[in-house]
Structure 1
Amino acid sequence: MTSKCFALVDCNNFYASCEKLFRPDIKDAAVVVLSNNDGCVVARSKEAKALGIKMGVPAFQIRELIENGKLLAFSSNYALYADLSARVMTTLEQLAPAVEVYSIDEAFLDLTGVSNCVELTQFGQQVRSTIQQWIGITVCVGIAPTKTLAKLANHAAKKWTKADGVVDLTSTERQRKLMSLLPVSEVWGIGGKLTTKLNKLGINTVLDLADAEPAFMRQQFSVVVSRIVQELNGESCLELEQVAPTKKEIVSSRSFGERITCKQQMQEAISEYVSRACQKLRKEQQVAKQLSVFLRTSPFSDKERDPYYSNSISTSLVTPSADTRDFISLAVKLLDKIWRDGYRYAKAGVMLSDFYDEGVYQGCLFEPEPQSYQSKALMTVIDKLNGSGKGKIWFASQGIKQDWSMKRGMLSPQYTTSWVDLPKAK
């Protein structure tokens, strides 16, 4: 039987790379991308890392570098990142027999049997050069007999420049050499608390963990840790998930750019979040029955000036739906029950849950048949128009100005998803 083989393809400094892609003038500049409301650093280019910029540092602490021109900061451009991610994943699907999209900038490939046709390092270089040529994003490739080892191989491909972006870890000798050099915290699935417990047992390097007895690790920790040990020894326990599991819930939530004190503005925000959640729900080809609405003030504000208040409420539709109108109507009613005047609200959101496949829910005998066809047709038209980049349609309850929306004062153009933002040749 052919031995298993996996590759992990990871985009380098993805958000920062996306910002540089259409800006050749900042190719070698130090770039950071900020979180919602331009709060803190969530992505850094290699040049920004060289300046000592840490992940999660608040924007105000690096303001001097930005003002002096030593550092360029961008607001998170989710539309741009999602579109470029989709292009990377589509390209990988053309290059590999099977692909599991693990995150917005990572994917596992099933390379079982590929070595019969091409040398694995050469294949990894083909992946790198193709994505670089077709999309302009640099990736690193880690290849190994298990997904856990592929993660370690990818780490090595990023860390050591001599590897030229590709590390083949199919050799047991190379596996053990690399594992002896890395702390156990570098293992996929080993977090901070678990690292501390392992260190107390004398397990400090990845190799120490690999040499541990799986049965003992299962007894001391869990079956998950036991499987990690097996994976580190080349025994594949984690299969490729080509079809993403159906979500059990969808949450849409944001912190506000300015504190909300007006109920009308809160209704607009809740309606906006419902619209986003329902769009994701339809993309999953699901319908939902339960809706939750929540809001809160800031837990970090001065309690005397801004008293704290937090609340949530849930209810269900009689018949599951994916129609935005159904959930907006319900959300506004729920908001009426938990809204309190006199507070400065910092965050709110909605959650959809209790999902069903389209057309399989058993309806109530005494309830009228919902107009599902007309509803689905309308929602399909709205989603198609909003995804075309040529225009946008929304519900009146979402508001027009949306002064409450999150701050993105350094937002770059949506180069690939909006006609008006297409780069212009001079």
Structure 2
Amino acid sequence: MFALVDCNNFYASCEKLFRPDLADTPVVVLSNNDGCVVARSKEAKKLGIKMGVPVFQVRDVLHKQGVVAFSSNYALYADMSQRVMSTLENLAPRVEVYSIDEAFLDLTGINYSLSLTEFGLQVRRIVHKHTGINVCVGIAPTKTLAKLANHAAKTWHKTGGVVDLTCTERQRKLLALLPVGEVWGIGGKLTKRLQQLGIDTALQLADAEPEFIRQHFSVVVERTVRELRGESCLALEQLAPTKKQIISSRAFGDRITDKQQMQEAISEYVSRACKKLRQEQQHAQYLTVFLRTSPFSDTDAPYSASKSIALDTPSSDTRVFLAKAMQLLEALWVNGYRYAKAGVMLADFYDPGVYQPSLFDTPPVQKDTDKKLMQLMDTLNSKHSKTLWFASQGTKQEWSMKRELLSPAYTTDWQQLPVVK
């Protein structure tokens, strides 16, 4: 038995949490460079503001309706997510963090002490008490059904934010109400193909023969059919799978025409990527640097290029990758272009100490002091944002993305803690 716990309007809820004056005010959160709407409060949704719409298209609506907009505050959202997930880990025997605002819970044995609906209501109360974030809970014998139960809990408010699909009859009633496109893993293309076969609802998909679905689609869609029938095919994953690659990239707040600024940007991206690499407890051997002008501009000349290099020995030392990245940038840079975006990618991962060199290689021995230096940087920067950084990252970073409506770092910066008067 699984429960899917999903935070309601998570980004917008995090912004409202420390602004009680906005309790009933429509709120939207914007994407990088404040370009598009990526999150909406329930009040903003009622106004008809669509997800992903460019801000310039709805600026008049935001102004007339008194909608408050915020730039994306990733540090705040990540910290609040960690608090929610820590709370859930104290409530269930096993937890799979599925995304920044979703988690699957293993409910094995829970129904011996209280009903599953009561447990779901308890989860809602405790998470709200500990974090201030509202969640909905969907309960079912498979992950796919739990997803649909959560959808129902969000859609129909009379459920109290908890839907238990343990009963087969309730499962079929809900599946009959939902279009097939609402099923987890069934995207737009699959929906059209299924509709061509006369499968329009989730119930029709559940009633389809698994072997028939496998012949016409794939084993993945067949697995979805079996999950809709109550046959659990997707186990709980407590440990996130190791990443295959790490990409660090951002669109610039202003176009870059100066090589020094591009060096700062690439240095910043390399530092972020290497920090993530060390968090994964991995070493990487392959580095790619890429940059491009805007493909949407009618005035900027088009240019897009990338170059890669393989290290002699896998590493997680930021300094090693910085040196290689500057070599690649030197080969990529062309004067006269207005660059809109750049980034780096790390790939070809190895566990520390398991790389097998060739017969004639003499691999350099990583000094213990080098490892300690990287650990020290990560520790200090985690506790106090950007305490230590490399000079090549620059200090002003005028190229960084625009976040003119950024809220304070309420939970991660001592200087920006909320003050109660």
- TM-score band, normalised by shorter chain: over 0.9
Residue 370 of structure 1 deviates from its aligned partner by 2.8
> For 1:68 and 1:209, how far apart are their aligned partners in 2?
44
Q: What SS does the aligned partner of 2:39 have?
A: strand
Q: Which moved more, 1:329-338 or 1:369-378?
A: 369-378
1:327 matched residue in structure 2:
321
Residues 197-245 of structure 1: CA deviation (Å, up to 9, x unaligned): 1011110000000000000000010001111110000000000000100
> For 2:415 and 2:357, how far apart are their aligned partners in 1?
45
1:2-13 → structure 2 map (5 Å cutoff):
5-13=1-9
> For 2:191 and 2:309, how far apart are their aligned partners in 1?
41
Do structure 1's residue 373 and structure 2's residue 368 form an aligned pair? yes
1:398 matched residue in structure 2:
393
1:10-89 → structure 2 map (5 Å cutoff):
10-68=6-64, 70-89=66-85
Are the aligned partners of 1:296 and 1:347 in contact in 2 as well (CA < 8 Å)? yes
1:272 matched residue in structure 2:
268
Do structure 1's residue 383 and structure 2's residue 378 form an aligned pair? yes
1:316 matched residue in structure 2:
310
Residue 68 of structure 1 deviates from its aligned partner by 4.1
2:155 matched residue in structure 1:
159
> For 1:65 and 1:421, how far apart are their aligned partners in 2?
31
Do structure 1's residue 191 and structure 2's residue 187 form an aligned pair? yes
Residue 392 of structure 1 deviates from its aligned partner by 1.6
> For 2:385 and 2:363, how far apart are their aligned partners in 1?
37
> For 1:69 and 1:177, how far apart are their aligned partners in 2?
38
Q: What TM-score do you get using the length of structure 2 for normalisation?
A: 0.98
Q: Which moved more, 1:337-346 or 1:109-118?
A: 109-118
Residue 62 of structure 1 deviates from its aligned partner by 2.1
Are the aligned partners of 2:242 and 2:280 in contact in 1 as well (CA < 8 Å)? yes
> For 1:254 and 1:171, how far apart are their aligned partners in 2?
47
Residues 102-143 of structure 1: CA deviation (Å, up to 9, x unaligned): 000000011122112210000001110000000000000000
Residue 319 of structure 1 deviates from its aligned partner by 1.2
> For 1:75 and 1:312, how far apart are their aligned partners in 2?
30
Amino acid of the residue matched to residue 26 of structure 2? A
Residues 131-159 of structure 1: CA deviation (Å, up to 9, x unaligned): 00000000000000000000000000000
Do structure 1's residue 407 and structure 2's residue 399 form an aligned pair? no
1:337 matched residue in structure 2:
331
Are the aligned partners of 1:32 and 1:72 in contact in 2 as well (CA < 8 Å)? yes
1:295 matched residue in structure 2:
291
Do structure 1's residue 102 and structure 2's residue 98 form an aligned pair? yes
> For 2:114 and 2:283, how far apart are their aligned partners in 1?
45
Q: What TM-score do you get using the length of structure 1 for normalisation?
A: 0.97
> For 2:196 and 2:364, how far apart are their aligned partners in 1?
62
Are the aligned partners of 1:289 and 1:316 in contact in 2 as well (CA < 8 Å)? yes
Q: 1:366 to 1:206 in 2, by over 3 A?
A: closer
> For 2:61 and 2:367, how far apart are their aligned partners in 1?
55
Are the aligned partners of 2:253 and 2:399 in contact in 1 as well (CA < 8 Å)? yes
1:347 matched residue in structure 2:
341
> For 2:125 and 2:363, how far apart are their aligned partners in 1?
58
Q: What SS does the aligned partner of 1:400 have?
A: coil
1:131 matched residue in structure 2:
127
Are the aligned partners of 2:312 and 2:363 in contact in 1 as well (CA < 8 Å)? no
Do structure 1's residue 172 and structure 2's residue 196 form an aligned pair? no
> For 2:292 and 2:339, how far apart are their aligned partners in 1?
6
> For 1:268 and 1:372, how far apart are their aligned partners in 2?
27
Amino acid of the residue matched to residue 362 of structure 2? E
Residue 66 of structure 1 deviates from its aligned partner by 3.5
State the 4+ residue runs in structure 1 displaced beyond 3 angstroms. 65-69, 363-366
2:420 matched residue in structure 1:
425
- Percent identity reads 70
Q: 1:23 to 1:92 in 2, by over 3 A?
A: same
Residue 393 of structure 1 deviates from its aligned partner by 1.1
2:254 matched residue in structure 1:
258
> For 1:373 and 1:93, how far apart are their aligned partners in 2?
35
Are the aligned partners of 1:390 and 1:419 in contact in 2 as well (CA < 8 Å)? no
Residue 391 of structure 1 deviates from its aligned partner by 5.6
2:108 matched residue in structure 1:
112
> For 2:206 and 2:108, how far apart are their aligned partners in 1?
23
Residue 362 of structure 1 deviates from its aligned partner by 2.6
> For 1:295 and 1:273, how far apart are their aligned partners in 2?
12
The runs of 5 or more residues in structure 1 that have no matched partner are none
Residues 265-304 of structure 1: CA deviation (Å, up to 9, x unaligned): 00000000000000100000111111000000001111xx
> For 1:295 and 1:97, how far apart are their aligned partners in 2?
46
1:242 matched residue in structure 2:
238
> For 1:121 and 1:8, how far apart are their aligned partners in 2?
13
Do structure 1's residue 145 and structure 2's residue 141 form an aligned pair? yes
Amino acid of the residue matched to residue 321 of structure 2? F
